[in-house]
Amino acid sequence: MLSLIVAKAKNNIIGRNNSLIWHLPDDLKRFKALTTGHTIIMGRRTFESLGRVLPNRHHVILCNDMEMNVDNENVEILKDISELKDYIENNEENFIIGGATIYKLLMPYCSKMYITEIDKEFEGDVSFPKIDKSIWKETSREQGPADGENDFKYDYVIYEKI
Ligand SMILES: NC(=O)c1ccc[n+]([C@@H]2O[C@H](COP(=O)([O-])OP(=O)(O)OC[C@H]3O[C@@H](n4cnc5c(N)ncnc54)[C@H](OP(=O)(O)O)[C@@H]3O)[C@@H](O)[C@H]2O)c1
């Protein structure tokens, strides 16, 4: 099965200049806790923005470049979303981790979304797609802990497909 994990601003912005805009330590900790031991699926640009292979996670990178190669046993490069069939159909929780292009492309195949909703608008160049509330039901909402570093509130929200 596919789940999706994202942190988005109030105006749906998720990034700028191929990087994250905010530094939210508790959210990063939560991302690590949820995804460790699982497969993480991402676009080539998000992989580049990570800058490294994350420990204890199988990485699937989508890209159209036939030449792309990452010499790491935890990295698999796929050229077409049809090659994700096994990840969609197996019983494991496999995480779509972005970015904007990949969220838009794969949201229809996801069963669950872990969305960190930041209560502030940001300027950026990539957005999360609109959530169709006739398909997605909010099943959990919990306020993230204040951290002294950020002046905004944020909620950890889970949506499940109806
Ligand atoms: N806030 C968050 O939670 C969050 C999470 C992740 C990322 N982000 C942000 O999102 C931004 C990156 O998003 P993005 O939309 O620019 O890039 P992206 O979705 O990470 O990657 C796009 C790339 O994926 C490949 N791709 C797309 N569709 C494909 C397909 N159908 N088949 C094969 N490959 C395909 C292409 O690679 P090639 O060009 O190599 O062909 C494309 O350029 C950054 O700012 C990042 O910081 C935010």
Chain segment 78-107, per-residue pLDDT in tens: 999 999 999 999 999 999 999 999 999 999
The overall longest dimension of the chain from CA atoms, in Å, is: 45
Contact 35, 142 (CB under 8 A): no
Round to whole Å and give the CA distance between 21 and 77: 27
3-state secondary structure of 129: coil
The CA 7 to ligand 1 mean position distance, Å, reads 15
Q: Is the CB of 19 under 6 A from ligand 1?
A: yes
Q: Is the CB of 53 under 6 A from ligand 1?
A: no
Contacts (Cβ under 8 Å, ≥6 apart) of 107? 4, 96, 113, 129
pLDDT under 50: residue ranges of the chain: none
The CA 2 to ligand 1 mean position distance, Å, reads 17
pLDDT at 66: 82
Provide the CATH topology of domain 2-161. Answer: Dihydrofolate Reductase, subunit A (3.40.430)
Q: Where are the beta strands (DSSP E) in 20-153?
A: 39-43, 58-62, 75-78, 94-96, 110-118, 126-127, 136-143
Q: Is the CB of 44 under 6 A from ligand 1?
A: yes
The CA 148 to ligand 1 mean position distance, Å, reads 31
Structure tokens belonging to residue 108: 């229809």
pLDDT at 156: 98
* pTM exceeds 0.95 for this model: yes
Residue of 13, 61, 80, 102 best suited for mutating to test ligand 1, as the one with most atoms within 8 Å of CB: 102
The CA 99 to ligand 1 mean position distance, Å, reads 4
pLDDT at 76: 97
Contact 122, 30 (CB under 8 A): no
